[in-house]
Structure 1
């Protein structure tokens, strides 16, 4: 008669263990998903910066392309900013936004934007996301 009691006790302990472990697993998965999302968006931003450089270099063929490329970067920055509670990432995104605004201003004023600081800021976002 003792045997059924030990099976029930084992089952109860196993279920209790799962109840304790599963929330931790969910947190780990959530953190991993956020990291992957951040990294994917950082890669997209790096691609956007490269596209902006190409668009600007070909501005004589398509003057609106650089403006469109800047808007694409801004959209991706909004995505990454909304999905982060990380202070380092928020700072890197803020720095990148500042550089995007400078490039936008230069384009609006028909001036040559300095894309170097923009690329550096995009690199910092990538570093935070992948580091």
Structure 2
């Protein structure tokens, strides 16, 4: 597959995730109650993670120029995952957090092993799943 086409598809998936997150955040903000506050926090954190995933994709594409940028994006995702994991008792959210954490770990391992273009698709997919469970 053409790398430009793959990058375009990844950006498209992230745009879709960002759209869902934004819509859910708006809808959730309008309803206002205790469990909604948790949902809103989950949605906002998922939105931050989506931004970090975008940063990760760009960092992987530019790894030759700035190899540390990918690590910073991975660190950001992991920080946000801890934030969600510490605040939820939802089995679905915790599973999505665990899946995303594993995907991030695989990318980090690939980078440490010298792979300058690791597959970030599983990270994107897991971030989309997290967004989905945060908004249901």
TM range (shorter): 0.7 to 0.9
TM-score (ref. length: structure 1): 0.76
Q: 1:89 aligns with which of 84, 87, 93?
A: 93
Equivalence for 2:128:
123
Q: Does 1:71 align with 2:80?
A: no
Give the superposition deviation at 1:57. Answer: 0.9
Q: Does 1:56 align with 2:60?
A: yes
- The C-alpha deviation readout for 1:37-84, integer Å capped at 9, x for no partner, is 000001111111111000111112211100111111100101011011
1:41 to 45, 66, 78: 45
Two-structure CA RMSD over aligned residues (Å): 1.0
How far apart are the structure 2 equivalents of 1:87 and 1:97?
A: 15
Instruction: Identify unmatched segments of 5+ residues in structure 1.
Output: 1-27
Unaligned runs of at least 5 residues, structure 2: 1-31
TM superposition outliers: structure 1 runs of 4+ over 6 Å: none
Structure with higher Rg: it is 1
- Aligned residue pairs, count: 104
> SS where residue 113 of structure 1 aligns?
coil
